[in-house]
Structure formats: structure tokens, C-alpha cells
Structure 1
């Protein structure tokens, strides 16, 4: 009986509590913090323009480029007095100076090139002789008018430093001696002005076609000026010191590295007087330089000349030398 009483009493209390209960939404029972619980202060941004100091770099565009080289070559051979297979003691020394300047701006190009060479050779029982002597100065101004093509004008000077002698043997002493002068400074000397078009596909090759070319030949040494019985010399008539020619001229230039340490430099010039187009003069120069080190090099040079005013046959010159060559810039 007592258990039944307690059960009825519990059931009654449960029903009363349910009747008084309220239905709550779970979202409303969740805790929501106050949005203004934490105060955030927004700083005021003080933005204002600032002037930065401009540095004065003083930049300049350099349109000039320069190259120079200085060299000395030497060859020597000696034999004992009892050397049976033949030979002559000899020594030769050669000096050279090359300079090139290039100015390029837009379509305008100016190039000046100076080449100075001088060398002497001494063989036993012979007087010293020149084996190299040249002054060459070339100036060219060009204006590019199309891809690889330009209009150009040029001025070229060529001569030599020292006297060139003819040699003979003295009948009394039996020794060699100088006889007559065959060349000297400005005897001959050449000054050429040319106007035409130039083809230049790259920086290693160019071809000048000088349709309007004038060349002056000078013979300033009276010992070289031909006399009436000698005929013309270097194209200059007997008793005169000057000759002027109007001609067509071709000039081809090549300066190319054919291997890592091997350079080939060549220049070909053809000069045809308009009055004698069938007998033009030709000059071909080629120099092969192999660099052993930065200073030591081996040079093989050759020159071929045909000019009927000087000689009816082809003239040739060849030299192989070991020397020192210093270049700027290196």
C-alpha cells in the first residue's frame, strides 16, 4: 500500500510540472555576447604627399668605340762558321700600330682606321733592308638608307716612312752598297676620295662600290721623279710630281674570327681608271693571326699587288712571324 501511495504522488507531481512548463526555443537559450563589449578604436590615417629627392645620375650615351693594338715581331737565325749545309745569319725586327675608332648614331656611321708598320732585316755581309714599311689611314662616313645598304664617302691616305734603296756591289771593295733611291715618304704617296654605295651584311664584312673616285699620286722626292729617258714611274710622267685619276673603285673588307683564337683580316682594293678600264690595278692583303696567349701571337701575312704602272708582273710579299701583341681593350 505504501509503495502505491508514493507512486501515485510522484505521478501527480510530474503532471503538475508538465502543465506549468513553458516551451523554449533553443536558439534563444544560446549565450550571445554583447557586441559592444570590446571597444575598438579606429586610428585616423594621416596621409600626405612626400617629395623624394631625385638623384642626379648624369647618364650619357657614348657613341664612340675605340680599339688599339701595339705589336713587335722578331725573327733570327744564326749558323756556325763550319756549317756545311748552307745558311746566312740574319735578324729582323718589325713594329706595328693599329687603331680603329667607330662612331654610330641612328643611321649615321663614321669609321677611321690607322695602320702603321715598319720593319728591317739584316743579313750577314749585306746592308740593312726594309722588309715592311707602310702608312695607311682610311676614313669613311656612311648613311644607312636600307637594310645592309648605305651611301658612303671616304678619304684614304697611303705612303711609307723610310727610303727604299736599290743595291749593288762595289767592284773595288766587293761589298754591297746603295745605288739609287726607288721610294721615300710621299714618293709615292696616294690620296683617294671616293663616293658610292656600301653593302654591309654584318660587322665582319663590307663591300664599297665607289662609282665616283678620285686618286692623287704624289712623288715629292726628286731622286724618285722619273727623267725623260726612264718613262713614267708610279704613273707619274717624267719631270712631274703629281698625277690625278678619276676611276671606279671596289673595296672589300673582312675581319672575322674563324676559330676561337684565330682571326683572319683581309682587304681587297680594285682601282680602274675610267680612261684605262681594261687595265685596273689590284691589291689583296690577308693576315692570319693565331693567339697563343694574351700577348704572344703567330702571324702569317701575305700581299699580292698588280699595277702595271709599277711593274708589268704581279708582285707578292709573304711573312711569318712570332711576336708580342697588346690590345686595348683586352
Structure 2
């Protein structure tokens, strides 16, 4: 090949290479490519769209069988047991003894505005047996109280009440008129000797569920002494004249009660009754305070302290008091 032919070939290859480089460097508009892109063929089968139909359906609803109860009931039962024993040669001295105390307190309340009804039953009985002395009663009380009230305003009620009080068994004193101890007990009380039935009508002030005060403007109290064998042992015979078993009094009565947790695990229940008779001097006004303080150790074990103060000249010319401290089982339902 001649030099001229070889030069032509090289010139052609050079122009071709330059043209290829210029083509690669050109900018391409991708939007145009997307515009003219060939789309795949769509599904040719027809699609039928049905509209959603919503219809109202009634569902039967049964009312729940709930009943409103206007009653509130509580039951408190307590049992205390104490025991001590000594050998015959115990140098410090002492006497073996066994003591048992029990309490029963049931309260039911019915409250449907404006009417309310409250019933309370309280039984207390205790007995102790000391070696060489036999069994002696330490506590004895029967108390029933029923009250019906109608609401006059937010805190005032018109009420009527009926209460009964007595004891279960015979009561003896072991001291003579001079205060000297005697071995043979002297009978001074019994069931319905005395026994008290009190009817009262008046107004009640109740600021909250813990406190209430009754003002019994019209009150009548009947005192019963059915055991006539205690006449010569009880000088005043509880206000009943010897030869009679019944004595009626008209009076004004005020009753204040509190039932409240005064602090955590410490509960106070107290009831004060003031009785002012119309037919006797003011000196024969009767005061009675019953209080129980309960400290809860756990759900079953409680420490209980109870006391009673009484001033009643028909029973004794001097104030009377009793006190007890015990630890035992005390259960509340529910």
C-alpha cells in the first residue's frame, strides 16, 4: 500500500473516533424518554365495582338485673380471754384466775330520702373466776335502739325512737354498807330488775355520717323492777317504790353519738345520754356515757378499751364507773 492510501485510512479512523466522542457527551432529556415510554398493555378483562350498601340493624339489649339496696348492715363480734396461774409456793404471791369477755354489736340502716330507719343491738357479757372465790360477773348489758326519722332539711330530721336496756343475769355486790368485803354475794340486780324502756320524739341534728345529736323534747321512760327479792338490798330500788314493779317518768332527753376512725387503725364509738325528768328536782338528772376505743392490730386481733360513767341518784347517790381493757378476736361482717 502506498503512503497516500495509508494516510487516507488513518484520517478516516480519526474522524470516526472524534464523532463517537462528541455523541457520548451530548445531554439527553429523560423527561422526553418517559413521555414516549411504551407502557405495558393493561388488563383487558372488565372490572365491575359494586357500591357498598350500609343498612341499619337493630340489636336487642337486655337491661342488667341490678337492684338498688337501701340497707346497710354491719355485725361486730368480739371475744377476749385472759388467764393467769401460780404455783402454791410463788414467792411474789398471786391468785390463779380465768376471765372471758364477749361483745356482739349489730347495726342495720335503711336510708331512702327523706325516710331513714336505724336499728342497733348491743350485747356485752363478761365473767371471771378467781381461785377460791368462784365465778363473778365482770360486765353485763342488753341494749336495743330503734329510730325512725324523716328529713326536714339538709341536716335536720324529725325522729321517733324506742330503746330498751337491761342485763342477762343476776348481779351481786361483794361489799357491805361499810365498804368491807364479804364472801357471800348480795343480790342487787337481775334481768328486768332494773329494765328500762324509753320512747322519745323530737328533732335530730346530723351534720355528717359520724356524728348525730337527738333532742327528745317529748320523752317517756318506764323503769321495771320485776324481782321483788332485791328490795331490801337496794335502798332506792332504782326509783320504783317498794310494792310496785313499774315507774313512769316524763322528761327531756338529749342523746349524742359519735362513731368514727380518729386515726389509722384506731376507732372510737361513744354515746352520751342526758335525761332531765319533769317530776323530780334537777339533782335527779341522769348522765350516762358509754365509750369504746378499738385499736386494730390486724384483721382479727384488736385491743379494746371500754368504759361507762353513770350518775343516777335513783341507782346510787354517788357517780358510778366501770372500765375494761382486753385484747382478743374482734371480727366485722362484712
Could you tell me the TM-score, scaled by structure 2's length?
A: 0.79
Partners of 1:53 and 1:187 in 2: how far apart? Answer: 66
**1:251–1:267 contact (8 Å) kept in structure 2:** yes
Counterparts in 2 of 1:205-220, with a 5 A limit? 205-220=211-226
Matched, 1:127 2:137: no
In the aligned structure 2, how far is the partner of 1:215 from the partner of 1:253? 20
**Contact in 2 for aligned 1:263/1:290 (Cα 8 Å):** yes
* Conserved 8 A contact 2:309-2:319: yes
Report the Cα offset of residue 117 of structure 1: 0.9
**Which of 301, 308, 311 is matched with 1:296 structurally?**
301
Partner of 2:312: 307
Q: How does 1:1-330 map to 2 (within 5 A)?
A: 43=51, 45=53, 47=55, 49-167=56-174, 176-178=183-185, 180-224=186-230, 226=231, 231-279=235-283, 280-329=285-334
Once the two structures are TM-superposed, the CA of residue 297 in structure 1 deviates from its matched residue by: 0.6
**Cα RMSD (Å) of the superposition?**
2.3
Structure 1 residue 42, shift from structure 2 partner: 5.8
* Distance in 1 between residues matched to 2:269 and 2:115, nearest whole Å: 24
Unaligned runs of 5+ in 2: 1-45, 177-181
How far apart are residue 326 of structure 1 and its match?
A: 1.1
Aligned-pair CA distance for 1:230:
6.7
Any conservation in 2 of the 1:231–1:238 contact (CA below 8 Å)? no
- For the residue of structure 2 that corresponds to 1:133, the secondary structure is strand
Length, aligned pairs only? 284
User: Which of the pair is proportionally richer in helix?
Assistant: 2
TM-score (norm 1): 0.80
Q: How far is 1:98 from its partner?
A: 0.7
Q: Distance in 1 between matches of 2:299 and 2:50?
A: 71
**Aligned counterparts of 1:163 and 1:62: Cα–Cα separation in 2:** 42
